[in-house]
Amino acid sequence: MTAAHFWITLLKAVLVALALLTTFAYMTLVERRLLARMQIRRGPNRVGPLGLLQPLADAIKSVFKEDVLATNRDRVVFFLAPLISITTALTVFGAIPAGRPGGFFGANPWVFNLDIGVIFILAFTSLGVYGIFLAGWASGSKYSLLGGLRSSAQVISYELGQGLSILGLLILVGSANLRSIVHWQYHHGWLIAFQLIGFACFLISSFAETNRTPFDLPEAEQELVAGYLTEYSSLKWALFQMSEYVNMITASALISTLFLGGYRGPAFLDAVVPGISGWPYLWLLLKIALFLFLFIWVRATFPRLRYDQLMRFGWKVLFPVALLNALLTAAFVGLLPGLSPWILGLVSLLILIALLALGDRLLAGNRKLARGSAGD
Amino acid sequence: MTTSTPLPTSSLLHTEEMILNVGPQHPSTHGVLRLVVHMDGEYVTKVVAHMGYLHTGFEKTMENRTYQQNVTYAPRTDYLHCFGHELAYVLSAERLLGAEVPVRAQLVRVLLHELGRIHSHLVFIGTGLLDLGALTPFFYAFREKEMVQDLFEEVCGYRMNQGYFRVGGLYRDLPEGFEQHVRAFIDHFDEKVDEYEALFRENPIFVDRATGVGVLSAAQAKDLGLTGPNLRASGVPLDHRKANPYCGYAELDFEVPVESAGDCFARFVIRGAEMRQSARIVRQVLDRLEPGPIRDPNRKISLPPRQELETSMEAVIYHFKLVTEGFHPPLGEAYVPVESARGEVGYYLVSDGGSVPYRVKIRAPSFVNLQALEVAGVGGQFADLITVVASLDPVLGDVDR
């Protein structure tokens, strides 16, 4: 590695971190405004025009707040936990390709490009859970402990399904390199069309991974006050918030890259405006924004699952369905080589519809069962 | 239900029971309720409810105020269904006194009583779903709740703690245009109530979280002395509006919704159904409302009209006596049960012939209903306990008084 390469990479890393943190700051504002819209309120609109300076005010407030420290805490771990969270959160985004090679003033628009990109990202985001778990353990508070335990239970239940849900995709593409995946989609069409089941599973587990409603058990306000966050205040608290939102942004970017063609726009638009699908950054940002909106929308819509329901969902629904998808894709690629992936897409769609219809009936049966035994 | 069975613990693993203190400051205890929860992992093995943080001695205070003054205290116990308590107090005092309440006053009381029930159930649905992590229904429910409060404000100037009823009638007649406003609200509400029911009936996550949770059988519910929607959700069709009709409820056409499951879901569903019935009652009352007197004409109970004070010496004397010392009910006791949004509320009043009650005992439904927590909250998970608290709908002012 040459010195110039080193400095450029470092510069890019800093830029990514800054961009993520700015997006996080405005994400909080956007989320509050959007939630307010959905809840017939106005949301923060006092600080600056349209409340645009609100994130700044929030940042100042968090920094200057008294850092209240629980006496029961484990000093070292209590301090390290938010750092683990934010470090893993910020690192992962570097693997996302944001444009064509050489697209960033002659440099490559990614911080690092690994052949095991997808696996690296999954591995690193899972590490982030240690931050939450250790925070819960080190706080010396029962609410925090329960939050931390829930978090680890949550990881165990969704992780396997999440990993399996992209297995089909990897079989189809034949590479775990994110650039290759984007490239493949450029030639064959977006993977969401061929991997609908995988997409659904991955999307759901992303909600669990980022601790967002309906899987926000670790911080379930109405039960655990603030879960693992209960004893944190000031900057340490802000770091946890930051990592949650950064994780959300990363998850959105990852879903976009894996299933929605990454930094490339839809090719059919080229017929209208030549070259529009190749416009740098625009498409990735749009797709990220789309998923971020989805995260907020879901938060406004759903209640929270219970701890055991999440586990059951992870093991009894997510895992087998993702496995089914992987097997289906493997069979398709192995037994019917040369067939258009669109057929696979069609089959996936039919299966997904069948699963949804069947699932509804199964759930209804479950409910009836629960109610029946309730009468005893 | 399989989910309520704790996982078998290995004898090699040493586990400890965790005692978690929930409240009095906690996001979901609906006020200042304190629960000491014994937990095995996430499973609740024992719940002890500590109450009294809001105790202000209402009953004792009321024994030192005249009957008419006490109307102010009654609504302050259950601040979500103020008219329930107000009505219960006024009815008891009237029975003690033998006052005759004109038809119009009775109908207006029913009208406000039912609007109050809608108000209370809306808050229940909003906060109940909030306790399960759904943020948005809270704001939707509060939109209509505010509308009801606007109506209350129009009637008597207060949005809460109205103190509008009087022993012997009402404080004053309904303002002009009020009936149209109520009609407009009820028309609007009929659409919205479907929306609210859909919010919990058709939400799979909510259904899964509330079904089979916190089950109380009919026998348990009776033994615990539950009343109101909590009792009817367990399949016991007791409603004092039907069982011991007051204020002309006997002539109104409405149904008492009953659910049989006795779980949290049933307790939510039943409140949705009750709101519809309340709207139905409000409509009927509006159709029946006719101009007329709003107070017992007995001068020893009701204040004389203002204009008479200038011409009649008798009126001045009655006015003076009523304002300075109030009326003196004959020796005796009275208790009239009223169906509030939370269950049976009643004021047991004992008179020694003086101008203040000798003894006041409030039968507060939330206080009794809260007992069920120690039965229904055990065996499930911690998250279920929160659901159970929400579904029992305690108002801490009503619990502690």
The pLDDT value given to residue A179: 82
Q: Which of A213, A306, A367 to mutate to test the interface with B (most CBs of B within 10 A)?
A: A306
Strongest mean pLDDT among A107-116, B10-19, B337-346 = B337-346
B20, B260, B382 member nearest A375 (Cβ): B260
Q: Which of B35, B39, B47, B215 to mutate to test the interface with A (most CBs of A within 10 A)?
A: B215
* CB-based contact B261 A307, cutoff 8 Å: no
Q: What is the pLDDT of residues A81-140, one digit of tens each?
A: 888 888 888 888 888 887 777 666 767 777 777 788 888 888 888 888 888 888 888 888
Q: Does B129 touch chain A (CB under 8 A)?
A: yes
B10 falls in which pLDDT band (50, 70, 90)?
Answer: low
Distance from CA of B14 to the nearest CA of A (A): 17
* CB-based contact A223 B204, cutoff 8 Å: no
Has residue A45 been placed in a domain? no
Nearest chain B residue (CA) to A361: B204
Residues of chain B neighbouring A375 (CB-CB closer than 8 A): 215, 217, 260-262
The pLDDT value given to residue A373: 44
Residue A149 has pLDDT above 80, yes or no: yes
Has residue B24 been placed in a domain? no
* CB-based contact A308 B3, cutoff 8 Å: yes
Distance from CA of B197 to the nearest CA of A (A): 15
B119 falls in which pLDDT band (50, 70, 90)?
Answer: very high
Q: What is the pLDDT of residues A165-216, one digit of tens each?
A: 888 888 888 888 888 888 788 777 788 878 888 888 899 888 888 888 788 7
> Which whole number is the average pLDDT over B104-128?
90
Q: What is the pLDDT of residues B58-96, one digit of tens each?
A: 889 999 888 888 888 888 888 888 888 999 999 999 988
3-state SS track over chain A = CCHHHHHHHHHHHHHHHHHHHHHHHHHHHHHHHHHHHHCCCCCCCCCCHHHCCHHHHHHHHHHHCCCCCCCCCCHHHHHHHHHHHHHHHHHHHHHCCCCCCCCECCECCCCCCCCCHHHHHHHHHHHHHHHHHHHHHHCCCHHHHHHHHHHHHHHHHHHHHHHHHCHHHHHHHCCCCHHHHHHHHHHHCCHHHHCHHHHHHHHHHHHHHCCCCCCCHHHCHHHHCCHHHCCCCHHHHHHHHHHHHHHHHHHHHHHHHHHCCCCCCCHHHHHCCCCHHHCCCHHHHHHHHHHHHHHHHHHHHCCCCCHHHHHHHHHHHHHHHHHHHHHHHHHHHHHCCCCCHHHHHHHHHHHHHHHHHHHHHHHHHHHHHHHHHHCC
A375 falls in which pLDDT band (50, 70, 90)?
Answer: very low
B48: enclosing H helix or E strand:
strand B43-50
Has residue A106 been placed in a domain? yes
Phi, psi torsion values for B161, nearest 5 degrees: 45, 55
Residue A364 has pLDDT above 70, yes or no: no
> Which whole number is the average pLDDT over A14-20?
85
> Which whole number is the average pLDDT over B217-225?
88
Residue A179 belongs to domain spanning: 64-375
Q: In terms of pTM, does the model score above 0.95?
A: no
Compute the mean pLDDT over every residue in chain B, rounded to the nearest whole number: 86
A142 falls in which pLDDT band (50, 70, 90)?
Answer: confident
Residue B68's domain is classified under what CATH number?
1.10.645.10
Residues of chain A neighbouring B381 (CB-CB closer than 8 A): 306-308
Q: Which residue in B401, B399, B398, B375 sits closest to B388, CA to CA?
A: B375
Q: What is the pLDDT of residues B271-282, one digit of tens each?
A: 988 998 999 899
The pLDDT value given to residue B2: 44
Has residue A40 been placed in a domain? no
> Considering only A3-12, B57-66, B288-297, which range has the smallest mean pLDDT?
A3-12
Which residues in B67-174 belong to E strands, given as ranges? 165-166, 169-170
Has residue A303 been placed in a domain? yes
The pLDDT value given to residue A368: 55
Has residue B319 been placed in a domain? yes
Contacts of A353-359 with CB under 8 Å at 24 or more apart are A355/A197, A355/A321, A359/A317
Has residue B4 been placed in a domain? no
Distance from CA of B75 to the nearest CA of A (A): 28
Residue B141 belongs to domain spanning: 56-365
Q: What is the pLDDT of residues A21-54, one digit of tens each?
A: 888 888 888 888 888 888 888 888 888 888 888 8
* CB-based contact B133 A38, cutoff 8 Å: no
Q: Does B261 touch chain A (CB under 8 A)?
A: yes
Q: Does B142 touch chain A (CB under 8 A)?
A: no
Q: Which of A42, A157, A225, A371 to mutate to test the interface with B (most CBs of B within 10 A)?
A: A371
A143, A214, A301 member nearest B136 (Cβ): A301
Has residue A197 been placed in a domain? yes
* Bridge partner residues of B350 (DSSP): B333, B359
* CB-based contact B261 A374, cutoff 8 Å: yes
In the numeric block, which tokens belong to residue B264?
């949290």
A150, A225, A367 member nearest B207 (Cβ): A367
A38, A307, A363 member nearest B383 (Cβ): A307
The domain total for chain A is 1
Nearest chain B residue (CA) to A373: B1
A12 falls in which pLDDT band (50, 70, 90)?
Answer: confident
ipTM of the complex, rounded to two decimals: 0.79
The domain total for chain B is 1
Burial class (CB in 10 A: 0-12, 13-18, 19+), A182: buried
